[in-house]
């Protein structure tokens, strides 16, 4: 990225990502255009701009229930000669492998499902090595001589490892984004049980989504594998027919009812994290997405009535009882 460059991003993102892309990166002279990635023509138009460097989207979008058509986006970015970056935090490699569908770079918040216990901060950037930076004028840091390394050209010298080597040799050296050793240990240990945990996460989440879908105090449930959900075909295509662990639903009564539900649960923990072995609940409009405008919140799926839950691996009967008791609790 150079001053004046732009990222095109899905408007269906974690609130912190929207803030980072919409506000923080402007301090570097960069910009971001948010688009609805369900709208193919809108995406094509946005990435056609000459100063656009990448397209960013989440495979399974936070706060939940939205599945991205990765292959469609990949075809668009190939035509525009820019990389497709997929945040695969919510789906994890257990449900989705974006490289197999045309993504060029995958990122994870390892703090979530990969570590799995809410005890280790971290992130990962994984390069497929498939995007050709050599000779691409849009990426001079990789396609032109690097003064800090005696004029070598990363794309020419390192080939499909160019982006990865540059991330270490320049990014890590100059900016210092490295994980603490203890966090790395906890993350590696957590990954050993990822498959087992994700099976239980998804199984529990499906049952709870079905319960909420039939509850009189719930107006809607956004979970990809519920009957009639428009993202069900994409869940079959990209997520092995599963809906993941994190999803949203609308509680009747709006903003105040959402806050009340969060305050009344006992087994669910009120936390902004997700991907934990413990079940978590959040009212995004008053917490993670509070800094956004009402329009941005609605576009991101975090309106006033929205509750986001991250389903853990506890007894699903206990989790359903906790939600039912909280929904039916008197003031």
Least confident of 19-28, 204-213, 288-297, 308-317: 288-297
- Full set of structural domains in the chain with CATH: 6-181 (3.40.640.10), 194-328 (3.90.1150.10)
Outline where DSSP puts E strands in 59-211. Answer: 60-61, 66-67, 84-87, 105-109, 123-127
pLDDT band at 301 (very low <50, low <70, confident <90, very high): confident
- pLDDT tens digit sequence for 128-156: 999 999 999 999 999 999 998 999 999 99
Indicate whether 65 pLDDT > 80.
no
Q: Which pTM value belongs to this model?
A: 0.93
Cα within 13 Å of Cα(50), Cβ side: 1
**Burial (Cβ within 10 Å: 0-12, 13-18, ≥19) of residue 68:** buried
Bridge partners for 204 per DSSP: none
For residues 293 and 234, the model is more confident at 234
Position 16 scores a pLDDT of 82
- pLDDT tens digit sequence for 181-223: 999 999 999 999 999 999 999 999 999 999 999 999 999 999 9
% of the chain with per-residue pLDDT over 90:
84
Close Cβ partners of 185 (under 8 Å, ≥ 6 residues apart): none
Position 291 scores a pLDDT of 76
Position 331 scores a pLDDT of 66
Mapped onto helix, strand or coil, the DSSP state of residue 287 is coil
- pLDDT tens digit sequence for 320-329: 999 999 999 9
- pLDDT tens digit sequence for 80-111: 999 999 999 999 999 999 999 999 999 999 99
Tokens of 36: 């609805």
Indicate whether 122 pLDDT > 70.
yes
Q: Which residues of 184-210 are buried (b: 16+ CB within 10 A; e: fewer)?
A: eebbeebbeebeebbebbbebbbebbe
Report how far residue 237's alpha carbon sits from residue 133's, in angstroms, rounded to the nearest whole number.
29
Q: Output phi, psi for 310, to 5 deg.
A: -115, 110
Position 266 scores a pLDDT of 97
- pLDDT tens digit sequence for 66-79: 899 999 999 999 99
Indicate whether 64 pLDDT > 90.
no
**Is the torsion defined by CA of 26, 30, 36, 38 positive or negative?**
negative
């Amino acid at each position: 990225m150079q001053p004046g460059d732009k990222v095109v991003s899905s408007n269906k993102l974690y609130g912190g990502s929207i803030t980072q892309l919409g506000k923080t990166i402007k301090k570097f002279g960069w910009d971001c255009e948010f688009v609805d990635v369900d709208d193919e023509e809108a995406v094509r138009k946005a990435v056609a701009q000459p100063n656009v460097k990448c397209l960013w989207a989440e495979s399974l979008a936070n706060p939940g229930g939205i599945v991205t058509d990765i292959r469609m986006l990949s075809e668009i970015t190939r035509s525009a000669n820019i990389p497709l970056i997929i945040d695969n935090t919510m789906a994890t490699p257990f449900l989705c492998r974006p490289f197999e569908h045309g993504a060029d770079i995958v990122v994870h918040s390892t703090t979530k499902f990969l570590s799995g216990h809410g005890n280790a901060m971290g992130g990962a950037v994984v390069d497929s090595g498939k995007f050709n930076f050599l000779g691409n004028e849009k990426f001079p840091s990789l396609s032109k001589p690097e003064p800090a390394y005696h004029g070598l050209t990363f794309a020419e010298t390192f080939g499909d490892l160019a982006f990865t080597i540059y991330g270490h040799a320049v990014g890590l050296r100059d900016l210092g984004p490295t994980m603490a050793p203890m966090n790395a240990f906890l993350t590696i240990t957590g990954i050993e049980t990822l498959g087992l945990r994700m099976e239980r996460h998804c199984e529990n989440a499906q049952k709870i989504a079905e319960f909420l879908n039939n509850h009189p105090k719930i107006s809607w449930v956004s979970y990809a594998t519920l009957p009639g959900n428009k993202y069900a075909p994409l869940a079959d295509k990209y997520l092995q027919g599963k809906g993941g662990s994190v999803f949203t639903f609308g509680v009747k009564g709006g903003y105040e009812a959402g806050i009340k539900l969060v305050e009344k649960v006992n087994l669910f923990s009120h936390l902004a994290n997700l991907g934990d072995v413990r079940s978590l609940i959040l009212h995004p409009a008053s917490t993670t997405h509070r800094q956004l405008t009402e329009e941005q919140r609605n576009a991101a799926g975090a309106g006033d009535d929205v509750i986001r839950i991250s389903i853990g691996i506890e007894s699903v009967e206990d989790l359903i009882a906790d939600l039912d008791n909280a929904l039916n609790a008197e003031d």
